[in-house]
Amino acid sequence: MGYVPQFKNDLFISYRRASNESPDKWIDSFCEALRASLADLVGSVTIWRDQPQLRAGDTWPAEITAALDSAAIFLAVISRTYLDSDECIKELDQFLGRLKDPALGAKRRLVPVFKHPPKPDQSLPPELSRVERLEFFYYPKDSAHFRELGPDCEDADRRVYWETLGRLAQDITAALEELHGSAGRDAMGKVFVARVSPELQLSRERLRSDLQQRGYAVVPEHEYFWNANDLREKIACDLADAKVCVHLVSRSASIEPKSAARARVQLELAQEAMKAKGRPLPMVWIQSASETDASARELLEYIESDLANQGVEYMQGALEDFKTQIYAKLPPAPTQAAVPQARALALLVEEGDIGGLGALKATLTQSLGVEPKSIKFVGAAPKDAQRMVQTLSECDRCLVFWGSQPEEWLQDVLAHQAVKPYLGLERMGVYVAAPASAEKTVFSSTAAQAIQAVDGPGETALRAFIGIVSKC
């Protein structure tokens, strides 16, 4: 199971095999570096890419289809001959179809990465021109020939390669966190699956995966700080909105000597919370064993005597049978779940200020349910004018991120021909971010609504601005 609930794979990497057949093994190096960066920025992220041993088998097309269907993000490494490959075209086309899926399409993302510029006679699908793209090549000054960036380039080019890959990792991190948060908001409800001993961790992970694929959020997401003073408060917080509480315990000894005590704390709090809220009492599964180890005896007596007398059900036997009992207590999925459509917002930002967007994007996506569509500027000119026009056409309001640039830059952006139809307090906003300056303090305009956020995320003002207009 990936980082994004309901998806087995977080990333599907599509590429032309020839891109990895050069001496530098460009794709291998790229994938390994991206994996390491995401592990550091996000945590456990599942990345799928085809391997030679897979292509040698008879199940390759089926494996690819399954991986695509279960991927949240499709990362296309577009080389000069990417669109010459029928296999690459089929992969991209299949994912474009998944983006139109009424159930999960809004929860997927397309990320193009250009290893080379496409051939002049090749036409890319319009969906690729509507999303951010990063280029791992450049044209040297006064040259008609491009130069590819890679980990084995000379010093200057190698530095640009790693900087570009770093930006890609941060972009994917933002997308993963947005999708993860969106899945939590859209979940049918929370299920508390208690933390378990190391020996039962795999069983818990399988149960967690099944529940998430059915549309439920599972808590806790991470291990508790068992020795922290606020342990009981943290567990109580996870239990607060849980529809069902599930506990997996074992009769056998554990390599973690405190496993039984920790299981009991969670059971006691779950029993108390669920009874107080009138919800189903905790469900307990006991892993079969020939005898009960001394370390687990007190816990098992508590379950089979005290809790059972209070109406708590416990079961021994196959875990799959226990899962059936869990699902019976959960509300059924609607016949056709309504998929909330995120509202779109054109977000205009100078390329040098992209690193400061974190708080704004988090507020928009996680607190306000708004989908920001970034338009990058280099100075006061859009980096991709055609893409800017296309993006603006999909939104009915704009927000300019004013960070480190002078006020003259802001005025030039607001004067851009493509932006003029959006001017006015109802459709145009200026997000006044740090660093503070005198001109920012007194900024006011009839062309745009000022959202002061030098000292905070400006959520109240953002909410007011977004509430002025209808949904995109």
Mean pLDDT of 448-467: 85
**Confidence (pLDDT) at 1:** 60
User: Which CATH architecture does the domain made up of 189-329 adopt?
Assistant: 3-Layer(aba) Sandwich (3.40)
Q: What is the mean pLDDT of residues 140-158?
A: 90
pLDDT band at 347 (very low <50, low <70, confident <90, very high): very high
- Nearest-10 crossing angle of helices 201-213, 319-329: 40
Per-residue pLDDT at 342: 41
- For the chain, domain boundaries: 9-185, 189-329, 343-468
- Hey, what's the torsion of the CAs at 352, 354, 355, 361, to 10 degrees? 160
pLDDT of residue 63: 80
- Say what the pLDDT of residue 334 is: 53
- Strands (DSSP E) contained in 164-252 are 190-193, 217-219, 242-250
| pLDDT value at residue 333 | 56
* Order of all β-strands in the sheet with 109-114: 47-48, 9-15, 71-78, 109-114, 134-135
Report the Cα 132 to chain-centroid distance in Å.
16
Residue 366 pLDDT grade (very low, low, confident, very high; cuts 50, 70, 90): confident
Which of the residue ranges 146-160, 220-234, 452-466 would you say has the lowest mean pLDDT?
Answer: 452-466
CATH code: domain 343-468 is: 3.40.50.10140
The confidence score (pLDDT) of residue 442 equals: 87
**Would you place residue 471 in the very low, low, confident or very high pLDDT band (cuts 50, 70, 90)?**
very low
The Cα–Cα gap between 68 and 47 comes to 11
Whether 118 shows a pLDDT value over 90: the answer reads: no
Assigned superfamily of 9-185: Toll/interleukin-1 receptor homology (TIR) domain (3.40.50.10140)
Q: How many Cβ atoms from other residues are within 10 Å of residue 23's Cβ?
A: 6
The larger pLDDT score, comparing residue 129 to residue 148, is at: 148
The yes-or-no verdict on residue 62 having pLDDT over 80 is no
Q: What is the mean pLDDT of residues 94-99?
A: 90
pLDDT of residue 125: 86
- Identical topology for domains 9-185 and 189-329: yes
Instruction: Give percent of the chain with pLDDT exceeding 90.
Output: 52
- What pLDDT sits at residue 52? 58
Asked if pLDDT for residue 431 goes beyond 50, the answer is yes
pLDDT confidence of 122, banded at 50, 70, 90? confident
Quick one: pLDDT band at residue 336, thresholds 50, 70, 90? very low
Kindly tell me the burial class for residue 354, based on how many C-beta atoms sit within 10 Å of its own C-beta (0-12, 13-18, 19 or more): middle
At 283, which helix (H) or strand (E)?
strand 283-287
pLDDT at 148: 93
Choose among 204, 179, 147, 155: nearest CA to 319.
204
Q: What is the pLDDT of residues 196-255, one digit of tens each?
A: 999 999 899 889 888 887 888 899 988 999 999 999 999 999 999 899 999 999 999 999
pLDDT at 441 exceeding the cut of 60: yes
How far apart are the C-alpha atoms of 97 and 360, rounded to whole Å?
Answer: 31
User: What digits encode the pLDDT tens for the residues 379-425?
Assistant: 999 998 888 888 888 887 899 999 999 999 999 999 998 898 888 88
**pLDDT over 70 (residue 140):** yes
pLDDT in tens, 303-332: 999 999 999 989 998 888 898 889 888 876
DSSP class of residue 419?
T
Mean pLDDT over each residue of the chain, to the nearest integer: 87
Which candidate, 91, 78, 74, places its Cα nearest to that of 122?
78
Mean pLDDT across 186-193: 84
Q: What is the pLDDT of residue 407?
A: 94
pLDDT range class, residue 337, cuts 50, 70, 90:
very low
Q: What is the mean pLDDT of residues 163-168?
A: 94
The predicted pLDDT at position 343 comes to 55
- Whether pLDDT at 341 is above 60: no
